[in-house]
Amino acid sequence: MSSIAQKKGFGATLWDYLTTVDHKKIAILYLITGGFFFIVGGIEAMLIRIQLLKPDNDFVAAGLYNEIITMHGTTMIFLAAMPLLFGFMNAAVPLQIGARDVAFPFLNSLGFWMFFFGGIFLNLSWFLGGAPDAGWTSYASLAISSPGHGIDFYALGLQISGGGTLIAGINFLVTIINMRAPGMTYMRMPLFTWSTFVVSALILFAFPPLTVGLFLMIFDRMFGANFFDHTMGGNTIIWEHLFWIFGHPEVYILILPAFGIFSEIFSTFSRKRLFGYSAMVFATVLIGFLGFMVWAHHMFTTGLGATANAIFAVATMAIAVPTGVKIFNWLLTMWGGSITFTTPMLYAVGFIPSFVAGGVTGIMQASAPLDYQLHDSYFIVAHFHYVIVGGVVLGLLAGLHYYWPLMFNTMLNEKLGKITFWLFFLGFHLTFFIQHFLGLLGMPRRVFTYGADQGWDLFNAISSYGAIFMAAGVIVLIVNIVMTIAKNVPVGRDPWGDGRTLEWAIPQPVPFYNFKQIPLVRGLDTYWIEKQEGNTEGMTFAEPIGDIHMPNNSIIPFIMSLGLFVGAFGALYNGEQPWAIPVLGLGLIITFAAMATRSLKDDLGYHIHKEDLLNEKGGKH
């Protein structure tokens, strides 16, 4: 049985990760892959800033520049930020609600491998004739006329990884609804679990429009359909609607989990219960709901007419209200607390002014007539980097330091962590604050170069130098990670000393079955309550020790995703290479054969026996 494995060699470890269905290991896979793509996207960002360092620069050529900006945006959103968030969700959410695993461990693995192969497929475009070059929004008229296969890589790659995301979303919804421990009512769930719950619902309803949009684009480009060809009756505005009906909720899919992470951090390191918990929950749900009502504010200049613009302007402004509620509740959580400035807390404290700045420029752009000036200028570039770097990336870095001991039973170096924070934080403001003014001075976005003496030279140079600080911060972080892994000093339970929620109550390293006995939850901040009452076990148990049912590992998710990956090449080169159709067929056969194997072979899992648990043997892994 795979559970009682001993010290393993590299091959066995690799096989273990390829076949794992354990949410904690899948979390690590998401972390590694997402981290890799974060570095790739970061290198692309540096190339952009080098090119714009001075006017009339020729560091990268015009067409290549468009490929770089497209891949920077696509990689950062789909292949870095979302997977990293999924990593933390996988690591923390089942533990926070007192579950032994997610609802569908097999699908959890499938979701990861689809994301993985989709991301690899998309990035292979660099080596196979050129990356997509129509921007991450891939507006239809430009995308349809884009030569080469870049856009096809974009559409097929996102389709595959998007499928993985959808699966992950459904999985978390069911997990949170069905698998909570006794006593873990909805209004006792930690905020990170709540935001995961809302975000999963957003994924469920936001990704299908993207799926449809991408299919329409694939059909147009590969099978000669006419959805976006206006000479044949098509309409390119359909793409804009479908993309933004997905795209706007996507912004909240990224930011809400970051909000969740920050909520945990503020409360933990202020040693204080989250202020206005129910208002926070309500605000999270409301933001998620309103997120679907505002997509057309990305299209104010498309020409939808005054009435549509006015309605969407007002709806967009409404989102400021629940977001403001969150900001003030975080402030009041710190107020009267006992704040300790650990690295995660530094990120949380740095997040507030950054995100407020990003939020208020969002309100400026919600004012449609003003947005006519700001849209597609550097102002919007500054705005969404304030929201996404100042909100999401700071959240990811905070989460990385905060959850590192939970995932690896060792602590990242605090000193290096703080150096990373200051380099990254200062670099971030230096890079992006000035870009607001570039926009106001008339600089459009997505320009590969700009003429001298338009009043933009100095500001662009400042922005580029700021980016160097951010890069330096990331390098220090990598050094920190390597050193921490090399030293590998175990930390044990509740490494931060102020843990409040259930995940910190588990002995470290977390056993592969999570909870020997399912806990009984007696209130918000369960672990805090138990600690206050002097319970050294860390939790009250809801059941006696008994057999634990576990799912079997499986290589099938990997093979299914691999089949889609292979098949995508067939679809891409269809009509161009003689081997295209056979390869498409081969890929689909691999996938369907894997599915058939899955359904023909009963997979009932196995049990860890009570005796093994009592001997504590099963706990070591």
Name residues contacting other proteins, limited to 585-614 (CB under 8 A). Answer: 596, 599-600, 602, 604
Residue with tokens 């060792």: 410
Burial of 453 (0-12, 13-18, 19+ CB in 10 A): exposed
User: Crossing angle for the helix pair 62-74 and 150-178, nearest 10 degrees?
Assistant: 10
- Residue 80 CB, nearest approach to other proteins (Å): 22
Q: What does the angle CA 105 – CA 202 – CA 306 come to, to the nearest 5 degrees?
A: 165
Q: How far is CA 600 from the centre of its chain?
A: 34
- Residue 479 CB, nearest approach to other proteins (Å): 27
Q: Is the link from the previous residue into 509 a cis peptide, with omega within 30 of 0?
A: yes
User: Of 311 and 474, which has the nearer Cβ to other proteins?
Assistant: 311
User: Of 458 and 489, which has the nearer Cβ to other proteins?
Assistant: 458
- The interface region with other proteins, picked from 108-116, 205-213, 552-560, 580-588 by CB under 8 A, is 205-213
- Residue 66 CB, nearest approach to other proteins (Å): 6
Choosing from 162, 209, 511, 563, the residue that interacts with other proteins (CB under 8 A) is 209
In the chain, the amino acid numbered 457 is D
The DSSP bridge pattern shows strands 519-520 and 606-608 to be: unpaired
Footprint of other proteins on 423-462 (CB under 8 A): 437, 440-442, 444-451, 454-455, 459
Containing 289, the helix (H) or strand (E) segment is: helix 277-290
Binding mask 34-53 for other proteins (x = CB under 8 A): --------------------
| 202 lies in the binding site for other proteins (CB under 8 A) | no
- Residue 463 CB, nearest approach to other proteins (Å): 14
User: Of 186 and 223, which has the nearer Cβ to other proteins?
Assistant: 223
User: Of 248 and 272, which has the nearer Cβ to other proteins?
Assistant: 272
| 216 lies in the binding site for other proteins (CB under 8 A) | yes
Write a three-state SS string for 521-573: CCCCCHHHHHHHCCCCCCCEECCCCCCEEECCCCCHHHHHHHHHHHHHHHHHC
Size of the site for other proteins (CB under 8 A): 130
Binding mask 530-549 for other proteins (x = CB under 8 A): -------------------x
- Residue 377 CB, nearest approach to other proteins (Å): 7
- The interface region with other proteins, picked from 2-10, 188-196, 229-237, 421-429 by CB under 8 A, is 229-237
User: Of 376 and 616, which has the nearer Cβ to other proteins?
Assistant: 376
- Residue 380 CB, nearest approach to other proteins (Å): 10
User: Of 11 and 233, which has the nearer Cβ to other proteins?
Assistant: 233
- The interface region with other proteins, picked from 84-92, 148-156, 167-175, 183-191 by CB under 8 A, is 167-175
- The interface region with other proteins, picked from 3-11, 127-135, 422-430, 512-520 by CB under 8 A, is 127-135
Binding mask 62-81 for other proteins (x = CB under 8 A): xx-xx---------------
User: Of 29 and 524, which has the nearer Cβ to other proteins?
Assistant: 524
- Residue 151 CB, nearest approach to other proteins (Å): 13
Exposure of 386 in the CB half-sphere (CA atoms within 13 A): 24
| 227 lies in the binding site for other proteins (CB under 8 A) | yes
- Residue 448 CB, nearest approach to other proteins (Å): 5
Footprint of other proteins on 87-126 (CB under 8 A): 103-104
| 306 lies in the binding site for other proteins (CB under 8 A) | yes
Two tokens at 435? Answer: 């870009």
Choosing from 45, 93, 325, 387, the residue that interacts with other proteins (CB under 8 A) is 325
Two tokens at 259? Answer: 């909000």
Write a three-state SS string for 91-130: HHHHHHCCCCCCCCHHHHHHHHHHHHHHHHHHHHCCCCCC
Choosing from 2, 3, 57, 367, the residue that interacts with other proteins (CB under 8 A) is 367
Two tokens at 437? Answer: 């003014």
For residues 244 and 209, the answer to whether their CB atoms sit within 8 Å is: no
Footprint of other proteins on 128-157 (CB under 8 A): 133-135, 139, 141-142, 145
| 186 lies in the binding site for other proteins (CB under 8 A) | no
- The interface region with other proteins, picked from 34-42, 310-318, 401-409, 477-485 by CB under 8 A, is 310-318
- The interface region with other proteins, picked from 323-331, 402-410, 535-543, 569-577 by CB under 8 A, is 323-331
Choosing from 340, 535, 577, 615, the residue that interacts with other proteins (CB under 8 A) is 340
- Residue 78 CB, nearest approach to other proteins (Å): 18
Phi, psi for residue 18 in degrees, rounded to 5: -65, -30
Q: Is 307 helix (H, G, I), strand (E, B) or coil?
A: helix
User: Of 233 and 534, which has the nearer Cβ to other proteins?
Assistant: 233
324-351: string of b/e by CB count within 10 Å (b at 16+)?
ebbbebbebbbeebebeebbbbbbbbbb
87-126: string of b/e by CB count within 10 Å (b at 16+)?
bbbbbbbbbbbbbbbbbbbbbbbbbbbbbbbbbbbbbbbe
User: Of 38 and 259, which has the nearer Cβ to other proteins?
Assistant: 259
- The interface region with other proteins, picked from 23-31, 353-361, 413-421, 582-590 by CB under 8 A, is 353-361
For residues 108 and 553, the answer to whether their CB atoms sit within 8 Å is: no
C-alpha span between 150 and 156 (Å, rounded): 10
In the chain, the amino acid numbered 448 is F
**Dihedral, CA atoms, 496, 502, 505, 507, nearest 10 degrees?**
-100
For residues 275 and 332, the answer to whether their CB atoms sit within 8 Å is: yes
Two tokens at 28? Answer: 């690590």
- The interface region with other proteins, picked from 30-38, 329-337, 400-408, 473-481 by CB under 8 A, is 329-337
| 242 lies in the binding site for other proteins (CB under 8 A) | yes
